[in-house]
């Protein structure tokens, strides 16, 4: 009962959305009458989208570097430790 009710709701919504969007998609898109403002808007929008690629590439390559370092790292690993020598008393000559 609940499954059929949910399926009917989904079908009803899809039908309504297709009826609403049909006039929108029926008209052809023409950029001839757009004017200069449309082109400025499109160029600025394209620049904003392209500028977002810079941090995306930085993140992508840092993830690639991190994963390759983890994959190709030797299991033993060499640990470097600084060994401090014990201080020795120094004799001062007078």
pLDDT digits (tens, 9 = 90+) for 14-63: 888 887 777 666 677 777 777 888 889 999 999 999 999 999 999 999 99
The answer, as to whether pTM is greater than 0.75, is no
Q: Tokens for 32?
A: 């001839």
pLDDT band at 94 (very low <50, low <70, confident <90, very high): confident
8 Å CB contact between 15 and 21: no
- Greatest CA separation for the chain: 105
pLDDT given at position 86: 79
pLDDT given at position 45: 94
Q: Would residue 77 be called left, alpha or beta, if left means φ above 0 and alpha means ψ between -120 and 50 degrees?
A: left
Distance CA 57, CA 9 (A): 43
Mind listing the pLDDT tens digit for each residue in 56-85?
Answer: 999 999 999 988 888 887 655 555 566 667
């Amino acid at each position: 009962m609940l499954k059929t009710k949910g399926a009917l709701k989904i079908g009803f919504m899809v039908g309504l959305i297709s009826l609403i969007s049909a006039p929108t998609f029926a008209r052809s898109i023409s950029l001839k009458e757009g004017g200069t403002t449309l082109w400025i808007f499109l160029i600025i929008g394209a620049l904003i989208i392209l500028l977002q690629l810079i941090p995306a590439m930085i993140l992508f390559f840092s993830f690639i570097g991190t994963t390759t370092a983890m994959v190709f790292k030797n299991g033993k690993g060499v640990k470097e430790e600084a060994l401090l020598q014990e201080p020795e008393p120094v004799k001062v000559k007078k």
